[in-house]
Structure 1
Amino acid sequence: MQRIPTQRILITGMSGTGKSSVIEALAARGFAAIDTDSDKWCEWHTDESAQPDWIWRTDRIEALLSAPHETALFVSGCKSNQGQFYSYFNQIVLLSASLEVMLSRIAARSNNSYGKTAAEREQIVQHLEWVEPLLRARATLELDTSRFSVAEIADQLAALGTG
């Protein structure tokens, strides 16, 4: 019997678009679902402009994406070096929402402190203006999370993973 290749799906988007909530919902459905926004998967790196950047640990991400998985693999994150891994993914899904929705979610969340200060909120606005268009250009699918519930987004992604 020939083994069908496992789908590898990147879920990306700006802060407050629902990446962590969706990845939790997919994990609860039994999928291999990894939220990369942790020290296990990321590290601080200082780039040539001397600005610190929270990037993927290339060795760990490469090992994750190269390993066989029993189910579709969903990986969530938005890092400046994620583009070097796009070739590993069958799908790149951009989660988007309006700035108002994003900031409201960020203000209400208790599982992540990012976005609570005025400086961080300004950074989110800047990223929405110049990072999101770059993500959109490479995305194979965009889902507006202000129009669908977490369960509905997870349904659409699960269909990608099993289809």
Structure 2
Amino acid sequence: MGLIYVTGASGAGKSTVLGELRRRGFVAHGTDEDGLARWYENSTHREASMPADPDRRDDDWYAHHTYRLPPDTVRRLAAEVGDDIGFVCGTVGNDNEIWDLFTSVVSLSVDATTIRRRLGARGDGFGSTEAEVRRILAWHKNVDADNARFGAVLVDATGPVSEVVDRVLASIGTG
């Protein structure tokens, strides 16, 4: 089956889906949870740290940094999975470099109200400031159309996690 990319807007439920996939016994990695993706400074391409203080994560900081999943990391995980099935759950700014390294891409689709509610429950993580929420919602306006245009299968992620994961598995022909 290969390596499957589960992506979507911030607040779509990728981390929750990751936990449920693991609970069901699947090999599943999180771009955030497992440190697969990292922030990079755009002009130098050097790794950078995201400011812990939400007030320092302003438009200027985001304009100069990109959250990236190195293609070599995806290749390594795909080789480890081989003909079995594995998942990478997350969203990154260099999708154009990595999508073709996955067997399939599934995009979790949710409405803006759900995103706002889920982000509000996060605490001080990404999406905790109003500026970040606005940025996420602006991206969200096009994420389904963009992901579908590039071949992702859209899966409704507004229900209970068990149902969402059932839909993810059905969309790739397993489960």
TM-score normalised over the length of structure 2: 0.77
Q: Counterpart in 1 of 2:12? A: 17
- CA distance in 1 between partners of 2:34 and 2:21 (Å): 21
Give yes or no for the alignment of 1:103 onto 2:116: yes
Q: Counterpart in 1 of 2:75? A: 62
In the alignment, structure 1 segments of 5+ residues that lack a partner are: 1-5
Deviations along 1:12-54, one digit per CA (max 9) or x if unpaired, are 1001110110111011111011111257311221225961111
Instruction: Determine which of 123, 142, 149 is the counterpart of 1:137.
Output: 149
- CA distance in 1 between partners of 2:117 and 2:151 (Å): 25
Q: Counterpart in 1 of 2:25? A: 30
Deviations along 1:64-85, one digit per CA (max 9) or x if unpaired, are 1232357411111111212222
RMSD over aligned Cα, in angstroms?
2.4
Equivalent pairs counted in the alignment come to 156
Letter in 2 for 1:116: S
Q: CA deviation at 1:139?
A: 3.6
Q: Counterpart in 1 of 2:49? A: none
Please give the residue correspondences for 1:1-163 in structure 2 after superposition, counting only pairs within 5 Å.
6-38=1-33, 40-48=35-43, 51-69=64-82, 71-110=84-123, 113-146=125-158, 148-159=159-170, 160=172, 162=174
Secondary structure at 2:29 match in 1: strand
Q: Does the CA contact (< 8 Å) of 1:41 and 1:56 recur in 2?
A: yes
Q: Does the CA contact (< 8 Å) of 2:2 and 2:83 recur in 1?
A: no
Deviations along 1:65-111, one digit per CA (max 9) or x if unpaired, are 2323574111111112122222222221110111111010110135x
- CA distance in 1 between partners of 2:147 and 2:7 (Å): 8
Q: Does the CA contact (< 8 Å) of 1:94 and 1:139 recur in 2?
A: no
Report percent identity of matched pairs: 29
